[in-house]
Amino acid sequence: MKQPREYWNDWAEILRRYRLDRLALTFLEAGAPLALLGAQLLHFSRGLVASDQLAALALTLEEEKEMRAFASFLAQEEKASS
């Protein structure tokens, strides 16, 4: 499995394509409780859908430093595309 940061460009592109980048950024900046809940749901769903990207996203959401770093990455991407 790739490291979670290796997926960041792909995730940012998908969020931008569906115009969910600002919503995701707001969600990530809102705080850890919601992100931790999301991570647990992703881990639970791995029993239904096996995906390295879902596992990487769950790991990103579990670690507050990684979650904040991804939020910063999204914010930089949003500024660059404006």
Residues 7 and 56 sit within 8 Å (Cβ to Cβ)? yes
Judged by average pLDDT, the poorest of 11-15, 49-53, 73-77 is: 49-53
3-class DSSP state of 57? helix
Task: Find all residues with CB under 8 Å of 78, minimum gap 6, and list them.
Answer: 21, 22, 25
Q: How many angstroms separate the first and last alpha carbons of the chain?
A: 32
d(CA 82, CA 67): 23
Q: Report the mean per-residue pLDDT for the chain.
A: 89
d(CA 24, CA 14): 11
- Is pLDDT above 90 for 29? no
